[in-house]
Copies of this chain bind each other. A is one copy, B any other.
């Protein structure tokens, strides 16, 4: 049992050091690994399988709204990146430059894509001619590079995986509607599939995407009270269309500029899953996204019939559509319990000689640790029921925590006090000026505007910082 205990003891408790806890969980749950390539991560099978489930579900939801997948080049010539002024300012400082192809120096250097607005615009300029060609609602799954100085697995890495949707429309209204539609796809996906409650809102001008007219965001709250931007959707108006000459001939035969959007979600969501749901025993995966939903662990495995029965339980579950596995390795049951918890498997199923005698097994919930004894005949039905319950209850728990950690401030003193002492979201009114945002960030140790929520409230008439008339309610917080 000493070694069983050690397995868990190796992770720092989240109360002691949240950042170290995160790093420990990522490592012990075998989500990522390392190579010599500094600042880049290896996503190991346990981590990549989570990403595959995210991909499959997001892709299904995208396609249900008419999205089609494409693939564009991974390199962008410098002149193309520079075509939209705000965009290049936002990204040029952090791109990786390719200067040689084989032994030959390139005439024009190219960056590895940090995002693909410029490429999609170049493509659409060639591909869109008439109103009949519109809209185009394209998406690509790929990796992008941003030359970050400090990196953390999933949260901030020089390379990450994502999807980037890029659409082109005939009218401003249609582009705006698509921008909001995709934000809601992200929000519903986060809440329904990842059990992560989010705040839906609009970014302030300071925080919006380089080149966008408007950026919408979903923001989630991590266990430590820090916010994580989970997905963004941008409306570009006709800015890129003018820079790239993306015009179409309308029904009235006149040439018009197109309107564009883009929207993205990344492997960062794996970081969100860890930090929203995890605990001091490790990862805790919502059943819908869990690569393994049920781990069957035989007790006294060497006794006759045990391994066989455990295997048949696992088979029964698989046939019922549950992602179940049998742990028949030569480790002790205690070690297997810890490992299954560390990896966040939603339920483990214990079955030993006594259980078999009684025709039963024991289901243990990862989230509540509750033990439920069930007849072997009903195991699949019961596991499915419990997985549903876990999915719902993980969302409810996370939602309650987010609500409990969301504060309101009416006076500047309250605002400062909350920022200093209460990790979480702070709702407060704002005048609309970047100056206030900058001052708040400096004065309150990095507190930034997370978003102007769609659900506006009027807490006061004036800006929490400068006292001038308030324009909007803002969710403030420290963010990853």
Q: Which residues of A contact B (CB under 8 A)?
A: 33-37, 40-45, 48-49, 51-52, 68-77, 80, 92-104, 109-110, 112, 119, 122-123, 126-127, 138, 142-143, 145, 147, 158-159, 161
Contact = CB atoms under 8 A, between A and B. Distances in A.
A147 B112 CA distance: 14
A109 B33 CA distance: 22
Contacts of A109: 100
A50 to B, nearest CB: 11
B101 A96 contact: yes
Contacts of A76: 37
A58 B393 CA distance: 36
Contact of A71 (B43, B68, B74, B112): B43
Contacts of A95: 102
18 contacts: A33-B127, A34-B126, A35-B119, A35-B123, A37-B80, A43-B70, A48-B69, A74-B112, A74-B143, A75-B145, A92-B102, A93-B102, A94-B102, A96-B98, A96-B102, A97-B100, A99-B99, A101-B158
Given A43-B72, A45-B68, A97-B101, 12 more contacts: A33-B127, A42-B71, A45-B70, A45-B138, A48-B68, A73-B159, A75-B159, A94-B102, A96-B98, A96-B100, A101-B158, A142-B143
A27 to B, nearest CB: 12
A70 B48 contact: yes
A477 B49 CA distance: 41
A77 B126 contact: no
Q: Please name the 10 residue pairs, one residue from A and one from B, whose CB atoms are nearest each other, closest first.
A: A40-B73, A45-B68, A101-B147, A97-B100, A43-B71, A37-B73, A102-B147, A99-B99, A35-B122, A96-B98
A75 B127 contact: no
A400 B412 CA distance: 82
Contacts of A77: 36-37
Nearest to A104: B147
A473 to B, nearest CB: 36
B37 A75 contact: yes
Contacts of A80: 36-37
A241 to B, nearest CB: 16
A100 B99 contact: yes
Given A36-B80, A37-B77, A70 B42 contact: yes
Contacts of A99: 97-100
A79 to B, nearest CB: 8
A126 B33 contact: yes
A138 to B, nearest CB: 7
B42 A123 contact: yes
A43 B127 CA distance: 13
A110 B145 CA distance: 13
A36 B119 CA distance: 8
B112 A33 contact: no
Given A33-B127, A110-B37, A112-B98, A145 B74 contact: yes
A70 B44 contact: yes
Contacts of A36: 77, 80, 122
Contacts of A100: 96-97, 99, 109
A41 B119 CA distance: 12
A407 to B, nearest CB: 38
B37 A119 contact: yes
A91 B98 CA distance: 17
A54 to B, nearest CB: 13
Given A69-B48, A69-B52, A96-B98, A75 B40 contact: yes
A102 B34 CA distance: 23
A36 B108 CA distance: 12
A92 B100 CA distance: 11
A161 B101 contact: no
A437 to B, nearest CB: 25
A48 B76 CA distance: 20
Nearest to A46: B68
A16 to B, nearest CB: 28
A159 B98 CA distance: 14
Select the residue from A37, A77, A147 with max chain B CB neighbours within 10 A: A37
Nearest to A267: B71
Contacts of A41: 73
Contacts of A110: 37
A334 to B, nearest CB: 18
A112 B119 CA distance: 19
